[in-house]
Every structure is written in structure tokens, then in C-alpha cells.
């Protein structure tokens, strides 16, 4: 099945709005995409060109395009070329790659809403400048036919502009009225419509005043607020969809005669035997019936230490087979797997968070009815007082314009945009418009351990305990293994300047370690039980040379930069700090003591993490969850607010409100401080808007403000609100 993928939205909305650029981007895509690869390790333009060049050199590839934002490669390949072959080519070149099921992917949508708003804003701004020039001529003393001509020219510019630019307000207002409710767009639409209607009436009667400039200025400022709000609400895809994308699209099933056949994941049934090769991801929940290997369960448990698995061991979808081929009997497939159950947890958590009501929404609920009632009363009162429909309409329009919620509409997005800019410069990306409001309410911070408070990579801590010659032997053996501990050990020894010893006949024994010959002796590096090592509470790789007693290489998680300072700052600021990890009890307890965290939870499964967040919430806590793994995704989505590092799994980043772009954790403390200041500024903006209305509304009701003066007053309040928001910078 072919899926048409559209190019990612440009960082510049004006560029993404250009039809020519969009057409060129579409033309650059392969026309018949039949393979989509996930490339989680790519991070720059050099990676893009490297991957595209490698794929282009493969026989049978007609075209390939890499999307850095989605970390995907879309390949137009010959029918006989499989995704497995392309994955192998990329992995040999040093790029991690996985096939994605094209039937599970949605076409990437460009930011149509943002582009549309920006285009309407530009049109209204251009028209406003032209009408203002005509208005200056009228204000300067133009009279009689000349004034009427300028008014009709203004009408010719304003009417089509407002009909086009104000459409979002008209549509939303009509939708609300049809549903029998009021929203902010109803008074906005009425104010614009009344200003235009009054101006046309005045112009047709050769009246002295017309308010086309007021109507178009109102439209421009409101669109500016709406666009700012849209930018802060740029939505990512659902985290539940990201989890579903981790599902393996095709599997190797073993037939009754012992042969392997490639079938679609959807064709698999419980009881089928599946072959999973080293480096492959488990497609189902099941039991190992043949083979032995080590499994990377970090996505599910956060545990970085690989787990030995042999016949009889239970495996879960999403785990990665590291060292040896395995035959699995499927016990749960499709929606019954642990991966899908986790996706369901995330979806439930996301729907719960979506019920959060922002300050702006609360203000709109109270504000909109009051505006309509006040304007209607002003109209009725003045009509009964003067029996002059023209005067009553003018005053009603002035009341609607002067009370137009432009300042309220800007109060939140102006602050969140300023705060987002400040935090971005400090290395934090705000993804959700209400994130700052929710972070300001936080009183409890829950941390994951592995990959969040630690770098996620094991570090050798006792290299100096070993003789240089032994290190050379260990280097040769570790370089012959794909095990994470071996890779870490090899790097540490090479960084120490030690040369490899001439070990021969190196063989990796899946699930155990590596073995070789050195100076007539058998040397081994691996698990304690296989090498003949002792007991240790720490993570170890044991080295035995000949008949000597095995010596351990001890590993520990390296504390992430800024973690100690962050925990100390949070405790000083009065936050309750909790450590929650899927790692072993002893490892979590030791690590909590290192950081001075009194409350900790170990061996927590994904559903237990989500349950603990829910429990804290029921106790009245406002929880900030900081995590990076697949096992943290449901907890991230269920917390009151959440942060994940940029190195986190895609699903975790999508589920979180804030992404930490740098390596240091220290900016998290600044994010909490900035959120509190931002809410203070938002409340100040609401106060400014309220006092503005208290002063201006009586003047409008008393007939002392024309619609034009009302529009200028409204603009002044909007500018004041925006300037107050900029104080955050």
C-alpha cells in the first residue's frame, strides 16, 4: 500500500504558506512510497544527506527522502526489495533503523490552520494601513463629497477584507449559536458586524463619521491574538499513536515443516512460533521455546541492564533481542499485547488531561454573556430615551467594541509566547498552551531514574583495579561483543589509552559473554555464573584469564548533569521529590541516597507508575512527572504536568508538555519559577483588562465614546497587555 507523505511544516509560516514552495516540496517526494523506515538516531542535516545517499546507492531503490522532524525515511523501492535489506544496509553504515507499517501511518498534515490565520492577518494588516491613510485625510478636515468619497473607498477595502479575514470569528460564533451557547467569538462577531453596518449607514446618509477603520483594526488585533494562541497550541501527535508505531509490521513465522515465512503481523495468531533475530524487537507477548540471549527491556521497565533469557522465559512486545536468535511461542497478539495495553493507558491519561480548563476559558465563560447583556441594555435604554435608532445602534456598537475581549484574548497567549521564548533560550521547549498554568500549580515532582536522572549508559567505576595487561585482554573480548556493557567497557579502556592484547578465536556465546584464546589460555568475559565469578549487588562483567579467579568490572549509572543541583533546589523551594523507577530495589535505594531523595519506589511497572501518579492526584497533589522511557509514557500523560528530555523515546516526548533540549536538568527549576511568574503576569493582564472595562464601559454606555474612539481604546488596552507580557523576557 502506498502512502502519500506531505513535507513537514516549515518553521517559517510565511514560507509554508507559499504555494510554489509547497508544490516544489511535493514534487521532491518519491511518488510510489512502499517502504517507511523509522530512524531514531538521526539528528542533523548531515544524517539526512548520509541516509539518502546510502539508500540511493542500493539497487532497486528509485528514490528516498528523509524527514528529520518525524525521523523517518520514505523509500520508493522495487517490489523485490524488502525493508529488512534496507535496514541491514543502514545499520552497517551506523544508523539505527526499523520498518514502520505504512498502513498504520497517517499522511503528515501541514499546518493549514496556522498558515490560514497568518494569511488572514496579513490581508487585514495591509487593508488596515490603507484605510488608516484615508481616515487621516478625513480627520484632517476633508468635508462634503470628498469625505464621502474617502468613506466609500474605505468601505470598498474594508468589506471584502473583513468578509475574508474575520471568517474564523464568524464561523466559530455561528457554530456556538447553533449549539445554543455563547463563546468569545460571538461578541467579537457582533462588534465587527455592528461597526460595519453602522459605518455603511452613516456613509449612505453622508454622515460625518464612519468606522471602517475601527472594524478593520479590531479584526487585525483579534487575529494577532488568535495567531499567537495558535502558535502556543501547536499540537503534536497522540502519544498512543506513537506507541502503536513501535509495533513490528511483519514477522518471521516458523511453519510446520520448520521453514520460515514472512507474514503480516495481522495474520499472526496465538500459538504461532516466531523467529526473532539479534537486534529485532519482540512483536508479541510470548514464551521462549528455543535459543538463549539477553533482552533489552529498557523501553518497558527503564532497566538498562540486559536480562538473560532462555527457554521458558516470558517476553513482552517491545523488548529488544540483543545477542542470539530466539524462537517465541505467541501467547498474546495484536491488541492483547503489553504494548497495546500501554497505549490504552496513555490514551485514557491523555483524555483526562484534556479536561483541564485554562484561565482564558474560565474568563470567556463569564465574560461573553455579560458583554451581550450590557450592549443590549445600552441599545434598549438609548432607543427608549431618544427613539433614534441610529444613535442607539452607534452606542451599542461602541459598547461592543470597547468591551471586545481583545485584551482578554491576548492576556494568555502573549504571556505564554513570551515565557516560551525565555524558556527556549534556556533549553526548554513548551509544547502545550496550558503547560505553564499547570506547572505553576505543581507541588510534587516525580522523577524516573534511568535516562532521566542518569545518562542511561552504564559507566565502569573500577577500571583502576585491573592490571594494564588484563585491560588489554578485556578490550579484545569486549570489542567482539554487541552487549551494552561490553561496548561501554571497550570505550572506557580505549579512552584510558590501553592497547588490545592479541586474543584469538573470539566467540560470543549468546546470553553468556565472549570467549577467546590468549597465550594458550582460555579467557572469558561475561556473566558471573558462566565465567565463575562471585556474588555482587552491583552490575558487573566478570573477566577470567585461564585458571585465575575471575575479577569484576563494576558498572554504575552516571548521574546526569545538573541532577544533584536540581533536586537540592526543588527541596529548598518546598517541592516534594519522589524517585520512581523500574530498576531493582537496591539500585534505586542506592541512587536515591546519592541524590538525597527520601521517597522512592522501585521495580515499578508502567501501569504501576501511572497508578501511583493517579494516587498522588487523588490525594490532592499536583504532580510534575519527569521521565524518558516507554514505561513512563502513561505516567507522563496522566500527571498534572510533564517534562521529558530530547533524548527520550518519541512516545514519551509526545506525551509530555515540555521537552528538555539540553543535557543539564537545571533548567527545570527555572521552568517552574517562570511558570509561576507567567501566571502572575496573566492575572495582571486580566486585572488590566478588567479595570479598562470598568473605566471605559460607563463612558461608552453614556454615549461619550464613538465606535472609533472605542476601537482606539481597545487597541490601547491590547498594547498594554502585550507590553506587560514582554516583561517576562
Query: Which among 34-43, 420-429, 536-545, 592-601 has the top mean pLDDT?
Result: 592-601
pLDDT (0 to 100) of residue 91: 82
Lowest mean pLDDT: which of 102-106, 387-391, 513-517, 563-567? 102-106
pLDDT (0 to 100) of residue 610: 86
pLDDT (0 to 100) of residue 17: 31
According to CATH, what is the number of the domain 247-280+285-336?
Answer: 2.70.150.10
pLDDT (0 to 100) of residue 711: 62
pLDDT (0 to 100) of residue 625: 92
pLDDT at 164 over 60: yes
pLDDT at 332 over 70: yes
Residue 171 has φ and ψ, to the nearest 5°, of -65, -45
pLDDT (0 to 100) of residue 623: 92
Write the CA distances from 71 to 76, 99, 236, 254, 634, integer angstroms.
17, 12, 14, 32, 22
Residue among 664, 653, 674 nearest 427 (CA) = 664
Strands in 641-711 per DSSP E? 641-645, 658-660
pLDDT at 659 over 80: no
pLDDT (0 to 100) of residue 7: 34
| Fold of domain 13-104 | Alpha-Beta Plaits (3.30.70)
Those residues whose C-beta lies under 8 Å from the C-beta of residue 167, and which sit 6 or more positions away, are: 120
Q: Which residue has the higher pLDDT, 314 or 692?
A: 314
CATH 3.40.1110.10 residue ranges in the chain?
A: 444-621
In our burial notation (b when 16+ CB lie closer than 10 A, e otherwise), range 439-457 reads bbebebbbbbbbbbbbbbe
Those residues whose C-beta lies under 8 Å from the C-beta of residue 338, and which sit 6 or more positions away, are: 285, 300, 316, 317, 318, 332
pLDDT (0 to 100) of residue 525: 93
Q: Which residue has the higher pLDDT, 242 or 281?
A: 281
pLDDT at 29 over 50: no
pLDDT (0 to 100) of residue 443: 92
Residue the block writes with cell 533549553: 427
The runs of H, that is alpha helices, within 267-388 are 298-301, 338-353, 359-386
| Cα 399 from Cα 402, distance rounded (Å) | 5
Write the CA distances from 706 to 395, 418, 508, integer angstroms.
7, 33, 86
pLDDT digits (tens, 9 = 90+) for 284-301: 889 999 888 888 776 555
Q: Which residue has the higher pLDDT, 117 or 241?
A: 117
Average pLDDT over residues 9-17: 33
pLDDT at 28 over 60: no
Residue among 483, 466, 484 nearest 544 (CA) = 466
Enumerate the active-site residues.
Answer: 448
Was domain 444-621 assigned CATH 3.40.1110.10? yes
Q: Which residue has the higher pLDDT, 462 or 366?
A: 462
Hey, what's the cell of 281? 524487537
pLDDT at 578 over 90: yes
**Residue 725's pLDDT band (boundaries 50, 70, 90)?**
low
| Cα 611 from Cα 205, distance rounded (Å) | 70
Read off the pTM.
0.53
**Residue 442's pLDDT band (boundaries 50, 70, 90)?**
very high
pLDDT at 139 over 50: yes
Average pLDDT over residues 410-428: 72
pLDDT at 612 over 50: yes
Average pLDDT over residues 152-169: 90
Provide the mean pLDDT of the chain: 76
pLDDT digits (tens, 9 = 90+) for 455-514: 766 788 888 889 999 999 999 999 888 777 888 899 899 988 999 999 999 988 877 889
| Cα 544 from Cα 532, distance rounded (Å) | 8
Q: Which residue has the higher pLDDT, 60 or 249?
A: 60
pLDDT (0 to 100) of residue 621: 92
pLDDT digits (tens, 9 = 90+) for 191-224: 788 778 878 887 888 777 777 877 787 788 778 7
What is the DSSP pairing of strand 72-77 with strand 35-38? antiparallel
**Which residues are registered as beta bridge partners of 559?**
454
pLDDT at 582 over 80: no
Give me the sheet containing 623-626, strands edge to edge: 428-430, 658-660, 641-645, 623-626, 444-447, 576-580, 599-601
Residue among 392, 364, 278 nearest 707 (CA) = 392
Percent of the chain with pLDDT over 90: 12
pLDDT (0 to 100) of residue 43: 64
pLDDT at 105 over 50: no
CATH 3.30.70.100 residue ranges in the chain?
A: 13-104
pLDDT at 435 over 70: yes
pLDDT (0 to 100) of residue 18: 33
Average pLDDT over residues 129-133: 83
Q: Which residue has the higher pLDDT, 386 or 232?
A: 386
Amino acid at each position: 500500500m502506498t502512502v502519500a507523505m506531505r513535507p513537514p511544516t516549515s518553521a517559517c509560516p510565511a514560507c509554508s504558506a507559499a504555494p510554489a514552495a509547497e508544490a516544489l516540496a511535493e514534487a521532491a517526494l518519491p511518488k510510489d512510497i512502499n517502504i517507511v523506515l523509522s530512524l531514531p538516531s538521526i539528528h542533523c542535516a548531515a544524517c539526512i544527506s548520509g541516509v539518502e545517499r546510502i539508500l540511493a546507492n542500493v539497487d532497486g531503490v528509485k528514490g528516498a527522502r528523509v524527514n528529520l522532524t518525524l525521523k523517518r525515511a520514505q523509500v520508493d523501492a522495487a517490489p523485490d526489495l524488502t525493508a529488512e535489506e534496507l535496514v541491514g544496509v543502514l545499520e552497517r553504515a551506523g544508523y539505527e533503523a526499523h520498518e514502520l507499517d505504512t498502513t498504520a501511518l497517517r499522511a503528515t498534515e501541514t499546518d493549514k490552520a496556522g498558515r490560514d490565520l497568518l494569511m488572514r492577518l496579513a490581508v487585514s494588516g495591509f487593508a488596515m494601513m490603507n484605510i488608516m491613510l484615508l481616515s487621516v485625510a478625513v480627520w484632517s478636515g476633508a468635508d462634503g463629497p470628498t469625505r464621502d468619497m474617502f468613506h466609500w473607498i474605505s468601505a470598498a477595502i474594508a468589506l471584502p477584507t473583513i468578509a475574508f479575514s474575520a471568517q474564523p470569528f464568524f464561523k466559530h460564533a455561528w457554530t456556538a449559536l447553533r449549539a445554543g451557547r455563547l463563546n468569545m467569538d460571538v461578541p467579537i462577531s457582533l462588534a465587527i458586524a455592528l461597526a460595519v453596518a453602522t459605518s455603511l449607514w452613516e456613509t449612505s446618509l453622508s454622515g460625518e463619521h464612519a468606522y471602517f477603520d475601527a472594524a478593520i483594526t479590531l479584526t487585525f488585533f483579534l487575529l494577532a491574538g488568535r495567531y499567537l494562541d495558535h502558535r502556543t497550541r501547536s499540537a503534536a501527535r497522540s502519544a498512543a499513536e506513537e506507541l502503536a508505531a513501535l509495533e513490528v509490521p511483519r514477522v518471521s513465522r516458523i511453519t510446520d515443516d520448520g521453514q520460515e515465512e514472512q507474514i503480516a503481523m495481522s495474520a499472526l495468531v496465538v500459538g504461532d512460533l516466531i523467529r526473532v533475530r539479534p537486534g529485532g524487537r519482540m512483536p508479541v507477548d510470548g514464551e521462549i521455546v528455543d535459543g538463549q540471549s539477553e533482552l533489552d527491556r529498557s523501553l518497558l521497565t527503564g532497566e538498562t541492564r540486559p536480562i538473560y533469557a532462555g527457554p521458558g522465559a516470558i517476553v513482552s512486545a517491545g523488548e529488544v533481542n540483543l545477542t542470539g536468535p530466539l524462537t517465541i511461542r505467541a501467547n498474546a497478539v495484536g491488541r492483547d499485547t503489553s504494548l497495546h495495553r500501554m497505549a490504552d493507558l496513555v490514551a485514557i491519561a491523555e483524555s483526562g488531561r484534556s479536561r483541564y480548563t485554562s484561565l482564558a476559558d474560565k474568563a470567556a465563560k463569564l465574560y461573553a454573556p455579560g458583554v451581550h447583556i450590557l450592549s443590549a441594555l445600552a441599545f434598549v435604554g438609548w432607543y427608549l430615551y431618544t427613539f433614534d435608532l441610529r444613535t442607539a445602534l452607534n452606542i451599542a456598537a461602541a459598547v461592543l467594541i470597547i468591551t471586545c475581549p481583545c485584551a482578554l484574548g491576548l492576556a494568555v497567549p502573549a504571556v505564554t509566547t513570551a515565557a516560551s521564548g525565555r524558556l527556549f533560550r534556556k533549553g526548554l521547549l513548551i509544547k502545550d498552551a496550558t503547560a505553564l498554568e499547570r506547572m505553576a500549580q505543581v507541588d510534587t515532582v516525580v522523577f524516573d531514574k534511568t535516562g532521566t536522572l542518569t545518562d542511561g549508559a552504564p559507566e565502569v567505576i573500577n577500571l583502576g583495579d585491573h592490571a594494564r595487561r588484563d585491560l588489554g585482554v578485556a578490550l579484545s573480548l569486549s570489542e567482539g561483543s554487541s552487549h551494552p556493557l561490553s561496548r561501554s567497557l571497550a570505550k572506557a579502556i580505549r579512552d584510558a589509552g590501553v592497547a588490545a592484547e592479541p586474543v584469538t578465536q573470539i566467540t560470543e556465546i549468546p546470553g553468556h559473554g565472549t570467549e577467546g584464546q590468549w597465550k594458550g589460555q582460555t579467557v572469558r568475559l561475561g556473566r558471573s555464573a558462566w565465567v565463575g565469578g562471585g556474588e555482587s549487588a552491583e552490575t558487573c562483567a566478570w573477566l577470567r584469564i585461564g585458571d585465575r579467579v575471575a575479577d569484576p568490572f563494576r558498572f554504575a549509572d552516571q548521574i546526569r548533569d545538573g541532577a544533584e543541583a536540581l533536586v537540592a533546589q526543588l527541596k529548598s523551594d518546598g517541592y516534594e521529590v519522589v524517585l520512581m523507577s523500574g530498576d531493582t530495589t537496591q539500585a534505586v535505594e542506592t541512587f536515591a541516597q546519592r541524590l538525597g531523595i527520601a521517597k522512592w519506589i522501585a521495580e515499578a511497572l508502567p501501569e504501576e507508575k501511572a497508578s501511583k501518579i493517579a494516587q498522588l492526584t487523588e490525594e490532592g497533589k499536583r504532580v510534575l512527572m519527569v521521565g524518558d522511557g516507554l514505561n513512563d509514557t502513561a505516567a507522563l500523560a496522566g500527571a498534572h504536568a510533564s517534562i521529558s528530555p530530547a533524548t527520550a523515546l518519541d512516545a514519551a516526548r509526545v506525551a509530555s508538555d515540555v521537552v528538555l533540549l539540553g543535557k543539564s536538568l537545571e533548567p527545570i527549576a527555572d521552568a517552574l519559577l517562570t511558570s509561576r511568574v507567567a501566571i502572575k503576569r496573566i492575572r495582571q493582564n486580566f486585572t488590566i483588562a478588567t479595570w479598562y472595562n470598568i473605566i471605559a464601559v460607563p463612558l461608552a454606555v453614556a454615549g461619550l465614546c464613538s465606535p472609533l474612539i472605542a476601537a482606539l481604546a481597545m487597541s490601547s488596552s491590547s498594547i498594554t497587555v502585550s507590553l506587560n507580557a514582554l516583561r517576562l523576557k
